[in-house]
Amino acid sequence: MIGLPGLIGLVALAVFGVAQFFLIGTISAGRRPRFRPIPLFTALRGMLGRSIESGRELHVSIGTGSIGGEDMATTLAGLQIVEYLADEAAASGVAPVITTADAATLILAEDTLRRPYIRQGSLENYPPLSARLPALEPTQYAAATMDYLAHGRVLANVMSGVFGAEAGLMARAADKDALPQFGGAADPRALAVLLPTADNLLVGEEMFAAKAYLQARPPHLASLRAQDIARWAIVAGIIALFVIGLLSQAGQP
Amino acid sequence: MRRIFTSVAPTIVTGIAGAFVLASFLVPSLIVLRAPLIGVATIIAGVAVLMGFAHLLYVHLRRLRSGSGALYSLVLILSASAALVILLIDRYTTQQLFTRFIFQHIIVSTQTALGALLAVFLMLAALRMLMRRRGAVAAWFLAAGLVVLVTQVPVVVDGPVGSVLTAVRQVFDAIATAGMRGLLLGVALGTLATAFRVLFFIDRPQSE
């Protein structure tokens, strides 16, 4: 039998779902919402073009997270950037270098990169080692990526996904060569170490907005708007509970 | 026909698996549904690690042949192969001494050394940021760093100075906790939205 927490969860999910499908309808009808600009997404546009012009590689790290655990959503958020770049890569013929420290995520990243080439019927142009697994453990991955950033021909360093404090090691390697850096993480430790070096930083929930900003399709815009509405509802709930708590304390002798 | 395997089947499998897992969280008695799925996920993750290991060796064999960074690649191939063989043999011993030795004396010690460097790297990065970007973010970063340093250093100060430090620490702890909760709330909502899109086939990261 479903318990009270389960029931609350189910109701919240249903409300979120209904709101999302309603918003997809209104956005598809032409009422597109406006969101505040996020500089990282603006900077990412045309990055592969600059990679072609300069003959240098764009490094995208999707972190150390797995797609089979609690990090799944954050890893998928990192992959959203790969998905956007993959479309550009298939069109331009130059793919970014994607690195991760998880073997299953590597397979998904490789598939994400390869898919636009299949769609365009140009699979023979797909560079097979664009997705790489430098190591299987976060600190070793950071060390291997530091070596790549220091010795490879890298144009810019993008890090968006699951990271811990080891992100600071990679960021430092890129910072030493004054590479443009774009970071995104959900873990406060990673955000703290990325802040001093990253030119642009995606903080927490901003990571999950990549598709809405980069591809701007109605379902993703609706998803982002639904998140905004849910956030305001939660904030209102917290304030209401705080006021109720204060009033009830004031009423006690 | 190809589309069935690359698009339709993965989408259906993901939807069914996601629905089962979601149902098992909402209705505790359905938790038995989750166990076989976790077993399947574990097997897939294990196969992925094997494939990843082969991928790693393949990349470095190519580098060895091309000559760029050949020495590093050679060291990596030899050490990875040796570690694999040792760990496989060690599985059949009772005390697994070699496995423990590798973890304690090689992996943990290199990790600790890199971790120790992190503090130095961070300080350098912060200094570079203060020199390069003299804006509001840099000022805020500096102020936050200084406050944390002053209030968190474990020095016992009595008298009015001690009271002020304790009060400042409490205020900043409250601000940090509130910020952390705000961050986690945003991540939770993002996670919910991502999961919703995957469950309802809006996003299909696993299929064409």
Residue count (chain B): 208
Under DSSP, the state recorded for B68 is T
Other CB atoms within a 10 A radius of the CB of residue B128 amount to: 16
Q: What is the pLDDT of residues B88-144, one digit of tens each?
A: 888 888 888 888 888 888 888 988 888 888 888 888 888 888 887 778 878 888 888
- Look over chain B and give the mean of its residue pLDDT values, rounded to a whole number: 84
The pLDDT assigned to B147 comes to 79
ipTM of the modeled complex: 0.87
The pLDDT assigned to A213 comes to 93
Mean pLDDT for A91-119 is 91
A190 inside domain? yes
The pLDDT assigned to A210 comes to 92
Which range is least confidently modeled, A124-138, A145-159, B11-25?
B11-25
- Residue bearing the bigger pLDDT, A69 or A105: A105
- Residue bearing the bigger pLDDT, B118 or A97: A97
Annotate chain A with DSSP letters as a single string: ---HHHHHHHHHHHHHHHHHHHHHHHHHTT--------HHHHHHTTHHHHHHHHT-EEEEEEES--SSSTTHHHHHHHHHHHHHHHHHHHHHS-PPEEE-S-HHHHHHHHHHHHHHHHHTT-GGG--TTSEE---SSHHHHHHHHHHHHHHS-EEEEEEEEE--TTHHHHHHHHHHTT--EEEEESSHHHHHHHTTT-SEEEEGGGGGGHHHHHT--HHHHHHHHHHHHHHHHHHHHHHHHHHHHHHHHHH--
Q: For chain B, what is the total number of helices (H) and then of strands (E)?
A: 8, 0
The pLDDT assigned to A63 comes to 93
* Set of chain A residues whose Cβ sits within 8 Å of the Cβ of B43: none
Mutate to test the interface with A, among B22, B53, B189 (most CBs of A within 10 A): B189
A99 inside domain? yes
Mean pLDDT for A193-197 is 88
The pLDDT assigned to A224 comes to 93
The pLDDT assigned to B75 comes to 92
Q: What is the pLDDT of residues A171-187, one digit of tens each?
A: 989 988 889 999 999 99
Mutate to test the interface with A, among B194, B196, B199, B201 (most CBs of A within 10 A): B194
* Set of chain A residues whose Cβ sits within 8 Å of the Cβ of B128: 175, 196-197
Percent of chain B exceeding pLDDT 70 equals 97
Residues B91 and B85: their CA atoms lie apart, in Å, by 10
The pLDDT assigned to B99 comes to 86
Mean pLDDT for B58-66 is 89
The pLDDT assigned to A1 comes to 67
Total of domains in chain A = 1
Under DSSP, the state recorded for B69 is T
Mean pLDDT for B139-166 is 77
Under 8 Å between Cβ of A33 and A27: yes
The pLDDT assigned to A253 comes to 66
Which SS3 state, helix, strand or coil, does residue B135 take? coil
Confidence of residue A99 (pLDDT cuts 50, 70, 90): very high
Which range is least confidently modeled, B144-148, B156-160, B192-196?
B156-160
Residue B208 has pLDDT above 70, yes or no: no
Which range is least confidently modeled, A231-245, B16-30, B142-156?
B142-156
B111–A104 C-beta distance less than 8 A: no
Under 8 Å between Cβ of A225 and A34: no
A149 is written with which tokens?
């950033």
* Set of chain A residues whose Cβ sits within 8 Å of the Cβ of B52: 102-103, 106, 133, 136
Residues B52 and A245: their CA atoms lie apart, in Å, by 54
The pLDDT assigned to B120 comes to 86
Under 8 Å between Cβ of A8 and B25: no
Answer whether B55 touches A (CB < 8 Å): yes
Confidence of residue B50 (pLDDT cuts 50, 70, 90): very high
The pLDDT assigned to B175 comes to 87
* Set of chain A residues whose Cβ sits within 8 Å of the Cβ of B10: none
Residues B195 and B18: their CA atoms lie apart, in Å, by 9
The pLDDT assigned to A129 comes to 86
Residues A110 and A18: their CA atoms lie apart, in Å, by 34
A140 inside domain? yes
A115 inside domain? yes
* Set of chain B residues whose Cβ sits within 8 Å of the Cβ of A151: 69
A178 inside domain? yes
Contacts of A120 (CB under 8 A, 6+ apart): A90, A91
Mean pLDDT for A211-230 is 91
pTM score, whole prediction: 0.88
Annotate A103-120 with DSSP letters as a single string: HHHHHHHHHHHHHHHHHT
Annotate B29-52 with DSSP letters as a single string: GGGGGHHHHHHHHHHHHHHHHHHH
Confidence of residue B155 (pLDDT cuts 50, 70, 90): low
A243 inside domain? no
Domain range spanning residue A184?
37-215
Which range is least confidently modeled, A50-54, B79-83, B138-142, B153-157?
B153-157
**CA distance to partner chain A, nearest, from residue B41 (Å):** 7
Mean pLDDT for A60-85 is 90
The pLDDT assigned to A212 comes to 92
Answer whether B94 touches A (CB < 8 Å): no
Rg (CA), chain B: 26
B118 is written with which tokens?
């992190």
A22 inside domain? no
A245 inside domain? no
Mutate to test the interface with B, among A57, A205, A215 (most CBs of B within 10 A): A205
Residues B59 and A206: their CA atoms lie apart, in Å, by 34
The pLDDT assigned to B198 comes to 85
- Look over chain A and give the mean of its residue pLDDT values, rounded to a whole number: 90
CATH classification at residue A143: 3.40.50
